[in-house]
């Protein structure tokens, strides 16, 4: 009897051992699958997140409309609030006209030309304005067109002829004007940008009416979302007056003359247009055969200024691409405005920051995820502030401070945050919660599957042990 009991116990142990091995194998397989799911989370989000954002905001697009690059940044300091492929090279197409306008307005500020100056198109200019393959506004040779009217034509309907006229007003040598564009790009830190022409259309598309010798006749301009952000922020800060034109859905040019005509803005996100988004005051669109549809929007509302860039939407042949770029841009703005909020860390004046008396010339305003607090650190004569995704300038967000003596009287303002070190546990907790929220349903199926396996195993082992004791 005793031997039989020992035999049954031994058999039970062997059986449990075999079952245990199988369960361990199953758990290992489930664990590896779960790790695979976690490992692909960032990739899945990178590929699908923008489509989900657009859908969640009530717009309909297809996966083929996914932009090649997108970027939303704070105009104030270049904080990145959304980014996908910000350094991918694309053809900006007519977004290039913004650099031409930048150079024209610099010349106006320097007193070299004025908005009231008259420009007279030649027969060649008139011929360019009649090329149907290019975006244009008809011009008449021999008629005087004020610079201001040409600017409107270049910015709203993206007239190539008007842009060429403006570029030649600054420098009538086409190659030298393109040199100015590339020089300006270098000054702005646009390290991945190269201009070949003044308008964004390749020179050979002008049917011999616009040529360059030292630059390419058939290669498009090249840039990135990051570089465009650097350019547009600088343009807007230097010449914000251009938005008095770009905020309009339509404008009348050459009013009071026989050549008056109404021009239409290609930006469908401005007020009064089909996809109007409250707060959009510009700025420009562009379309190319190589990279499809591009859009840059400037958002200004309730003290918030954001730059919205969407590049490479849809295919050149897609009739919907013209509108889908705005659906995506609008959706990204809505998403960012829901996720982030502007926060004033310090007002100008003398403040005590991390035990040091310092003077700030300007208010320190940054964006933070809603419900969170920005962290910062004093290093020498700089206040460094942590940002959600860095800045377009690829450096820390830094504000200059002047050291003040301990007896200096503080400005009547209190800190709204604590030192970075005091917020580390909260930051870790917030990041952990944020990560958990992003885990897909499949992960939780695996997780609770493993929990269930261990629970069943535990019950089985307990029952088996009791059965052996009875024997």
Active site residues: 94, 97, 158
Q: How far is residue 95's CA from residue 228's CA, in Å, rounded to a whole number?
A: 9
List, in sequence order, every residue forming a beta bridge with 292; answer none if it has no partner. Answer: 288
Asked if residue 284 belongs to a known ligand binding site, the reply is: yes
Chain-centre distance for alpha carbon 76: 14
* Backbone phi, psi, residue 74, to 5°: -75, 130
Helices (H), 171-277: 174-187, 225-238, 243-246
Would strands 376-379 and 382-385 be described as parallel, antiparallel, or unpaired? Answer: antiparallel
Decide: helix, strand or coil at residue 179.
Answer: helix
3-state class percentages of the chain: helix first, strand second, coil last, to nearest 5: 45, 20, 35
Would strands 349-353 and 292-301 be described as parallel, antiparallel, or unpaired? Answer: unpaired
Tokens of 171: 């420098």
- The residue count for the chain: 471
Q: Cα dist. 64→47, 249, 315, 320 in Å?
A: 12, 28, 8, 11
Q: Is 419 left (phi over 0), alpha (psi -120 to 50) or beta?
A: beta
Cβ neighbour number for residue 10 with a 10 Å cutoff: 11
Q: How far is residue 92's CA from residue 193's CA, in Å, rounded to a whole number?
A: 10
CA atoms within a 13 Å half-sphere pointing along the CA-CB vector of 123: 0
The DSSP secondary structure of 298-350, one letter per residue, reads EEEETTEEEEEEEEEES-TT-SSHHHHHHHHHHHHHHHHHHHEEEEEEE-SEE
Radius of gyration, alpha carbons of the chain: 31
The binding site for substrate consists of 284
The binding site consists of 284
């Amino acid at each position: 009897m005793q031997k039989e009991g020992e035999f049954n116990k031994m058999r039970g142990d062997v059986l449990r051992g075999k079952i245990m091995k199988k369960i361990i194998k199953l758990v290992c397989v489930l664990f590896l699958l779960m790790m695979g799911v976690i490992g692909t989370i960032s990739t899945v989000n990178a590929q699908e997140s923008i489509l989900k954002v657009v859908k969640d905001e009530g717009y309909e697009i297809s996966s083929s409309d996914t932009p090649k690059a997108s970027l939303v940044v704070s105009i104030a300091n270049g904080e990145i609030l959304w980014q996908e492929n910000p350094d991918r090279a694309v053809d900006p197409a007519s977004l290039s006209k913004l650099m031409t306008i930048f150079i024209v307005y610099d010349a106006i500020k320097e007193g070299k030309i004025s908005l009231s100056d008259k420009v007279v198109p030649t027969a060649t200019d008139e011929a360019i304005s009649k090329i149907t393959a290019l975006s244009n506004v008809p011009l008449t040779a021999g008629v005087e067109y004020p610079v201001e009217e040409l600017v409107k034509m270049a910015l709203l309907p993206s007239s190539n002829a008007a842009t060429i006229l403006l570029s030649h007003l600054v420098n009538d040598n086409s190659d030298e004007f393109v040199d100015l564009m590339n020089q300006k790009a270098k000054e702005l830190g646009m390290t991945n940008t190269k201009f070949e022409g003044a308008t964004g259309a390749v020179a050979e598309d002008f049917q011999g009416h616009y040529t360059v010798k030292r630059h390419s006749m058939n290669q498009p301009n090249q840039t990135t979302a990051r570089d465009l952000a650097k350019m547009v922020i600088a343009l807007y800060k230097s010449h914000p007056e251009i938005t008095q034109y770009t905020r309009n859905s339509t404008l009348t040019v050459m009013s009071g003359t026989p050549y008056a005509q109404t021009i239409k803005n290609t930006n469908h996100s401005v007020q009064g247009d089909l996809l109007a988004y409250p707060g959009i005051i510009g700025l420009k669109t562009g379309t190319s055969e190589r990279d499809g549809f591009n859009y840059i929007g400037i958002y200004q509302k309730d003290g918030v200024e954001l730059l919205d860039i969407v590049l490479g939407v849809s295919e050149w042949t897609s009739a919907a691409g013209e509108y889908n770029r705005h659906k995506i841009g609008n959706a990204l703005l809505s998403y960012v405005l829901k996720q982030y909020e502007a926060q004033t860390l310090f007002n100008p004046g003398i403040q005590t920051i991390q035990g040091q008396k310092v003077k700030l010339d300007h208010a320190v305003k940054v964006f933070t995820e809603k419900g969170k607090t920005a962290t910062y650190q004093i290093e020498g004569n700089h206040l460094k502030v942590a940002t959600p995704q860095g800045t377009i300038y690829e450096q820390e967000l830094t504000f200059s401070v002047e050291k003040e003596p301990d007896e200096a009287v503080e400005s009547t303002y209190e800190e709204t945050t604590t030192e970075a070190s005091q917020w580390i546990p909260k930051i870790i907790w917030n990041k952990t919660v944020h990560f958990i929220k992003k885990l897909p349903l499949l992960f939780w199926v695996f997780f609770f599957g493993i929990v269930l396996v261990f629970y069943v195993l535990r019950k089985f082992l307990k029952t088996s042990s009791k059965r052996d004791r009875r024997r």
